[in-house]
Amino acid sequence: MAKDNVDVVQHAWDAFARGDIDGAVEAIAPTAETRIPESVPWGGTYVGPDGFRDFLYKLDRAFDQFKATPHKVLGADDNHVIVVAKTKGRIKGGGTIEGSNVWIYQLRDGMIADAESWGDTAQVLQALG
């Protein structure tokens, strides 16, 4: 089961890397919650695929360039996948970020049911000015 869940999450990240937002959100359950630290402008809790699209829209509006690449995608147990992603970007206005984010996903019935991200929000806030 864990390997299948890893494949689901990896597929979503691969789609995001290609700019395929439909592919990135197809595995997100309608009631799934995605939580991003509220200390950043695009932070908050987003529900379902449309909520995740809203998160990506806010992220896109904040950056001139942004790239997040999974460095590790690990099956933690039968229901959880952990992703360590390298992030790099230039915020509109000129500040840059580079670092890592950790995502924890909970999956149910082959769908992402819950996702939460942690990263260096102090670095992001400094880059925002």
Say how many residues make up the chain: 129
CATH of the domain at 108: 3.10.450.50
Tokens at residue 111, please? 């769908």
Counting beta carbons within 10 angstroms of the beta carbon of residue 129, is it exposed (0 to 12), middle (13 to 18) or buried (19 or more)? exposed
Confidence (pLDDT) at 55: 96
- Alpha carbon 68 to its chain centroid, in Å, reads 8
What does each of the 129 residues of the chain score in pLDDT, given as a tens digit?
455 999 999 999 999 999 999 999 999 999 999 999 999 999 999 999 999 999 999 999 999 999 999 999 999 888 999 999 999 999 998 899 999 999 999 999 999 999 999 999 999 988 888
For tokens 């997100």, what's the residue? 28
Domain count for the chain: 1
Position 128 scores a pLDDT of 85
Domain span at residue 73? 2-128
d(CA 8, CA 12): 6
Furthest-apart CA atoms within the chain: distance in Å: 44
